[in-house]
Structures are given as structure tokens and as C-alpha cells.
């Protein structure tokens, strides 16, 4: 796995400060933990004028003493909910390190009860739904009950520590998500990690604008912000009545008359796709057809204006389902790093589209074919390092043994017409000299390799970002599949439409134009072209997103990853403070 995929996710600007603050605090925690093992209760005699915890000296003010006592016995109340953080001991030390570094002074309370920071944080817990999180996971009602009952230093200390514990979980969920992607689904090779608790606590404590600091824990990207805004809008639409279902009926084509058009106009207006008054009557034409085409485009359907079964089914998806899609994809956005690179390739497998991005602007897009559900393309990030014109195709072992071995057993010359040759090591083998019937899927010692040419399964160019999954982007001789709305037909690799246009977009900085690449192609010679600078490639799976123009898009869950993620989140146990 490349550093792009495995590095800890930090917010630009926001977590730069966190990292600086964390250096000193981590040293404090390390020194203190060496003197005082985790979970060791400290002796805090009331009559003492100073209290020693390891080598850390506490002042005599009662609230700080009570916080130290509370931390010694109650620092891991709910830390098992910190899914993408360190171990429970590391979390405990992080919280203790923060308080030891500030000599156990409170952050959220004063002797009078909740301070303004504490009030703002509890309000943030109560509004967690804005981020598609469950407010009850942070038990704001219980914390408010504790605040209301806090009449002495012991109760205030309990409240202080409970809020800090809860905040660590909240920050963990906002920065890195509620579940571990790779444990939910092995095809999701993402490993987000939240920052150390002491770093987060120091960050908010030292921030000049506390409310902004809390909100800044979430992904600092326009994509996340737009989806958050759209989620609020769709929830408001749901509260206003949701989407009106359109009755079943015959396939509706432009020019036909239909009694359902009033309902259809209402339904599309509810999704802001149709302007009331721009169309009337019983004839399906004009602005109403254009609104349906817009709906089809934003839902990954054939854009033909015809309302058949597929389009009607999407129209009648309840708004609650769409809200659920948005919530799941906000979780996915929390798994992703904010900084994808100044220049990168972004493939959305659910959308079956690829884009090349430079300085936050999309400079090239193309349709792609992705893996069949049985050969689902994994989610991961890596770096493109070279392209190959007129490539060989080394047939994957699974394809060689499941598809081609039976053909060779029936006819040893079956692959010659496909320009596929047989090798044993580096030595070419005459297929007629092999007793193919004596080999099986479990005992196949040969390599099958297809020569470059028009019929090559990889087409005439491939783009390599070497990875353990053997996934890459390539041309294909099967061009007809790109005209389909749903394009999941490969064995896992990504087939690109107009690959030499893509080649110019990817290799242009190194002086390669489309014409220059096609000249190499036409020569028939195999040519490896190295990129002067590795190019980040991100394979993602997003079934809901919002474009810069504010348009909300949804896609079918072709790999049922929404279903798996929704189940994993539903099985999370509510936090038990």
C-alpha cells in the first residue's frame, strides 16, 4: 500500500496546529506514563497541601485535585467506541497527558458548572446529525443531566472527564469515521486514523474561535461541505412531505399523452429539477422531457427522456432512501484524506467515470468500465508511474485456468487466433506438445501471454500504478460497452473510453500529445513511457455526491457496499457514558 493510502488523515491548516501541539504533549505523556502506569489510582489525601501523581505536582485547588482523582479511575468510560484511533491505553494516556500538561485545570467546566466551551460542545453533540452522525452516540442528555446535578467538585470533575471522553469519540468519528472500512469490507483498502486525543484537546483549547475549531474537525473539503448542505435540504424536503410517487403505467415517450403528468411535474419540482409553470397540459414534451433527462443524468440512467421501468423505479425511490445514501457517503468522505494531491486521477467506481484533476479543476473526464460484481474493483489509492503503448497482456491465472484451460483441453490450437502464446518460464511452448487434459486449475504451470495488436485485451495502451491487486487502467477492443449507462463488465481492471485522449491528459506534462502517442501505437512497437513525477490515483466508491453547481447525484449500489456499510453502522452499539 502506498503512503497515499496509509498515511494518517490530517486536516490542512487545522491539524497542522494539532501536530505541533501534539509534539510537546506527547513528550509530557511519555514522561509521565513512565513514572505512573496507566490505570494506576493515585493517592489524593484531602489534608495535603500538594499532591503527587508520578512526578507531576498538582496545585491545591479542589477542582483540579478532583479532576486528577477522576482521571485516575475513570478515563476509559466509552473509549472503546473510538473506532479509528489507537488502543484504549493510548487513548487513556492521551487524555491524561493533556490534563497533566495543563496541571489538571478544567477545560469544559468551572466551579459554577458548564463554562461557555462546555455549552458549545454539548450543543455540537446535539447537532451531530448535521454530519450524519447519531447524536445519541454522544449522550448529550446524560451530560446535561450531569451538568444540572453538579453541585460539588467531585460532580464537576466527573462532568469534566465525561465530556472529554465523549469529545474524543466525537472527534474520532468526525475525522476518521465510525467504522474501520477494511473490517467492514475487505475490498475497501482504506485505513483512516484519527489524531491523538491530547492533540485534539490541545487544539480546541488553544483555538481563538472555539465553535469554528469544533466544526473544523470534519473533512475540510468542498465535497463534504456540499453534501452536508444537501443532506440538510433533503431532510427539510422530507419534513415537508417528501417525494410524491408517480403511478405505474405504460412506458412514457416524448409526444405521448398521459394522465400522470401533473404528478410527474410535482415530483420533479420537489427535487428542484422542474420549474412550475414551464410546462402544462397532457402531452409529454418540451420542458418536462428536459427535466426527466436531467433526472436521468443525475441518477446514472440512459439519458433519453423515456420513462420506462428503470427510470420510474428511480423516480419512486423514497426520499428517506436518498437521505440514507447521503449519510453513508458522508461517512466515506471522512475516510478519505482532504488532500488528494495537486494533480491526481479520481475514479468513482459507482459512477463508472474517471476524471483528471489539476489544482482542484477537472481537466479531463472519460467513461470507464469497472469490475463485475463478482470481480468488484477494490477501493484504494496508489501512484501511477508509467504507461505502456502496444502492451503485452499476461493473462491472469484465474482467467487462464477457468476460461482458457478448458478451451485448450478441447483444442490445443484454440488460442492461436487470439495471438495468445504459451510459456514455461521464459521459454515458449508449442501448445500442441502439451497434454492439457492432465492439468487442472490447481496444477497449471504455464503462463499465457497475448501479443500486442488490435485484438489485445488491453487494447493499445495501459496506465500502470503498480499495486498488490494488479489493477490498472487500459484501452479495450470492446468499445460498445461504453454506450451503456451501467458499465460493470470487467474482471476488475478499469477500461477507459478514448484512452489516447486520456494519455495526453496524463502524460502531457512530460511532453506527450495524443498525436505523438498514436504515432507510437501505429508503429506496432511496444513502448514504456515513465512519468517524471508519480501521479496519485484514487479508486473510490461514492453513490451520492454534489457537484460544484449544486446538482445532487445518486448512483446504483452496484457492489452492494451501501448495504454492507449501513448494516455495519446499524450494528454499532450506542455509546454508554
Q: Is residue 489 part of a domain?
A: yes
> CA-CA distance, 169 to 163, in Å (whole number)?
10
Q: 135 with 67, same domain? A: yes
pLDDT, one tens digit per residue, over 267-306 is 999 999 999 999 999 999 999 999 999 999 999 999 999 9
Q: 274 with 165, same domain? A: no
Total of domains in the chain: 3
Q: Tell me, what's the pLDDT at 93? A: 73
Q: 174 with 249, same domain? A: no
Q: Residue 413: how many CB atoms within 10 A of its CB?
A: 10
H/E element holding 552?
strand 552-554
| Grid cell at residue 112 | 459554577
Q: What angle do CA 489, 534, 548 make, to 5 degrees?
A: 65
In Å, the largest CA–CA distance within the chain is 96
Q: Is residue 331 part of a domain?
A: no
Q: 308 with 422, same domain? A: no
Q: Is residue 260 part of a domain?
A: yes
> CA-CA distance, 552 to 542, in Å (whole number)?
12
Q: 344 with 309, same domain? A: no
For residue 475, the enclosing domain spans 340-554
Q: 108 with 208, same domain? A: yes
Q: 485 with 425, same domain? A: yes
Q: 344 with 287, same domain? A: no
pLDDT, one tens digit per residue, over 145-176 is 999 999 899 999 999 999 999 999 999 999 99
Q: What pLDDT band is residue 16 in, cutting at 50, 70 and 90? A: very low
Q: Is residue 138 predicted with pLDDT exceeding 80?
A: yes
Q: What is the mean predicted confidence (pLDDT) over 312-317?
A: 98
Q: 38 with 131, same domain? A: yes
H/E element holding 324?
helix 319-335
Contact in structure between 502 and 345 (CB atoms under 8 Å):
no
> CA-CA distance, 253 to 267, in Å (whole number)?
17
Q: 401 with 267, same domain? A: no
Q: Is residue 224 part of a domain?
A: no
Could you tell me the pTM of the whole model? 0.87
Quote helix, strand, coil % in the chain, to nearest 5. Answer: 45, 15, 40
Phi, psi at residue 549, to the nearest 5°?
Answer: -80, 5
Q: What pLDDT band is residue 313 in, cutting at 50, 70 and 90? A: very high
Q: Is residue 116 part of a domain?
A: yes
Q: Tell me, what's the pLDDT at 224? A: 98
Q: Is residue 309 predicted with pLDDT exceeding 90?
A: yes
Q: Is residue 90 predicted with pLDDT exceeding 80?
A: no
3-state secondary structure 142-167: HHHHHHHHCCCHHHHHHHHHHHHHHH
DSSP per position, 463-490 = EE---TT---EE--S--GGGGSS--EEE
- Least confident range from 26-35, 110-119, 144-153, 364-373: namely 26-35
| Grid cell at residue 196 | 491523538
Q: Which parts of 53-152 fold into alpha helices (H)?
A: 62-73, 88-101, 116-126, 140-149
CA atoms within 13 A on the CB side of 377: 28
Q: Is residue 560 part of a domain?
A: no
- Which SS3 state, helix, strand or coil, does residue 549 take? coil
Phi, psi at residue 197, to the nearest 5°?
Answer: -55, -40
> CA-CA distance, 400 to 418, in Å (whole number)?
13
Q: Residue 214: how many CB atoms within 10 A of its CB?
A: 23
CATH (domain of 250): 1.10.101.10
| Residue 443 or 1, more confident | 443
Nearest to 203 by CA among 377, 17, 348: 17
Q: What pLDDT band is residue 195 in, cutting at 50, 70 and 90? A: confident
User: Whole-number mean pLDDT of the chain?
Assistant: 88
Q: Is residue 238 part of a domain?
A: no
Q: What is the mean predicted confidence (pLDDT) over 325-345?
A: 97
Q: Is residue 39 predicted with pLDDT exceeding 50?
A: no
Which pairing describes strands 494-496 and 473-474: parallel, antiparallel, or unpaired? parallel
Q: 299 with 155, same domain? A: no
Q: Is residue 283 part of a domain?
A: yes
CATH (domain of 423): 2.40.440.10
Q: 521 with 421, same domain? A: yes
- Which SS3 state, helix, strand or coil, does residue 40 take? coil
Cβ neighbors of 46 (< 8 A, separation 6 or more) are none
Q: Tell me, what's the pLDDT at 94? A: 81
> CA-CA distance, 550 to 230, in Å (whole number)?
8
> CA-CA distance, 24 to 4, in Å (whole number)?
26
> CA-CA distance, 267 to 357, in Å (whole number)?
35
Sign of CA dihedral 396, 402, 407, 410: positive
Amino acid at each position: 500500500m502506498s503512503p497515499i493510502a496509509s498515511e494518517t488523515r490530517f486536516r490542512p491548516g487545522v491539524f497542522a496546529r494539532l501536530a505541533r501541539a501534539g509534539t510537546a504533549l506527547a513528550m509530557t505523556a511519555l514522561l509521565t506514563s513512565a513514572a505512573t502506569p496507566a490505570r494506576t489510582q493515585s493517592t489524593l489525601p484531602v489534608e495535603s497541601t500538594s499532591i503527587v501523581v508520578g512526578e507531576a505536582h498538582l496545585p491545591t485547588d479542589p477542582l483540579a485535585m478532583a479532576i486528577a482523582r477522576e482521571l485516575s479511575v475513570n478515563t476509559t468510560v466509552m473509549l472503546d467506541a473510538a473506532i479509528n484511533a489507537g488502543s484504549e491505553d493510548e487513548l487513556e494516556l492521551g487524555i491524561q497527558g493533556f490534563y497533566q500538561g495543563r496541571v489538571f485545570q478544567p477545560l469544559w467546566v468551572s466551579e459554577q458548572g458548564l463554562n461557555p466551551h462546555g455549552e458549545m460542545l454539548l450543543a455540537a453533540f446535539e447537532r451531530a446529525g448535521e454530519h450524519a452522525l447519531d447524536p445519541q452516540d454522544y449522550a448529550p442528555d446524560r451530560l446535561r443531566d450531569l451538568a444540572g446535578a453538579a453541585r460539588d467538585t467531585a460532580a464537576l470533575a466527573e462532568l469534566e472527564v465525561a465530556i472529554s471522553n465523549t469529545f474524543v469519540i466525537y472527534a474520532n468519528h468526525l475525522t476518521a469515521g465510525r467504522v474501520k472500512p477494511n473490517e467492514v469490507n475487505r475490498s475497501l483498502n482504506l485505513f483512516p486514523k484519527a489524531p491523538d486525543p491530547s492533540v485534539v484537546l490541545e487544539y480546541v483549547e488553544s483555538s481563538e474561535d472555539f465553535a469554528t475549531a469544533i466544526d473544523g474537525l470534519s473533512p475540510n473539503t468542498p465535497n463534504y461541505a456540499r453534501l452536508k448542505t444537501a443532506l440538510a435540504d433533503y431532510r427539510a424536503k422530507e419534513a415537508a412531505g417528501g417525494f410524491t410517487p408517480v403511478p405505474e403505467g405504460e412506458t412514457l415517450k416524448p409526444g405521448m399523452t398521459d394522465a400522470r403528468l401533473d404528478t410527474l411535474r410535482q415530483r420533479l419540482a420537489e427535487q428542484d429539477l422542474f420549474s412550475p409553470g414551464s410546462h402544462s397540459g397532457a402531452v409529454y414534451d418540451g420542458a418536462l422531457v428536459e427535466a426527466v433527462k436531467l433526472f436521468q443524468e443525475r441518477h446514472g440512467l440512459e439519458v433519453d427522456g423515456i420513462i420506462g421501468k428503470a427510470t420510474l423505479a428511480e423516480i419512486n425511490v423514497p426520499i428517506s432512501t436518498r437521505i440514507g445514501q447521503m449519510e453513508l457517503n458522508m461517512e466515506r468522505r471522512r475516510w478519505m484524506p482532504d488532500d488528494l494531491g495537486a494533480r491526481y486521477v479520481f475514479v468513482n467506481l459507482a459512477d463508472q467515470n474517471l476524471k483528471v484533476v489539476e489544482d482542484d479543476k477537472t481537466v479531463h473526464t472519460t467513461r470507464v468500465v469497472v469490475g463485475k460484481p463478482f470481480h468488484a474493483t477494490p477501493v484504494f489509492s496508489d501512484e501511477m508511474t508509467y504507461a505502456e503503448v502496444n502492451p503485452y497482456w499476461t493473462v491472469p491465472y484465474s482467467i487462464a485456468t477457468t476460461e482458457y484451460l478448458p478451451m485448450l483441453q478441447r483444442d490445443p490450437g484454440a488460442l492461436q487466433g487470439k495471438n495468445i502464446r504459451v510459456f514455461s518460464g521464459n521459454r515458449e511452448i508449442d501448445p500442441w506438445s502439451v497434454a492439457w487434459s492432465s492439468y487442472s486449475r490447481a496444477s497449471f504451470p504455464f503462463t499465457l501471454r497475448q501479443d500486442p495488436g488490435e485484438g489485445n485485451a488491453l487494447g493499445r495502451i495501459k496506465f500502470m500504478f503498480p499495486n498488490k491487486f494488479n489493477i490498472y487502467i487500459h484501452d479495450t477492443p470492446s468499445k460498445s460497452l461504453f454506450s451503456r449507462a451501467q458499465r460493470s463488465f470487467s474482471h476488475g481492471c478499469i477500461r477507459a473510453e478514448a484512452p489516447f485522449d486520456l494519455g495526453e491528459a496524463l502524460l502531457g506534462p512530460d511532453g506527450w500529445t495524443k498525436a505523438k502517442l498514436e504515432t507510437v501505437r501505429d508503429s506496432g512497437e511496444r513502448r514504456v513511457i515513465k512519468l517524471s513525477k508519480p501521479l496519485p490515483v484514487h479508486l473510490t466508491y461514492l453513490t451520492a455526491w454534489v457537484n460544484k453547481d449544486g446538482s445532487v447525484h445518486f448512483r446504483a449500489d452496484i457492489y452492494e457496499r451501501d448495504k454492507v456499510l449501513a448494516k455495519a453502522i446499524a450494528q454499532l452499539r450506542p455509546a454508554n457514558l
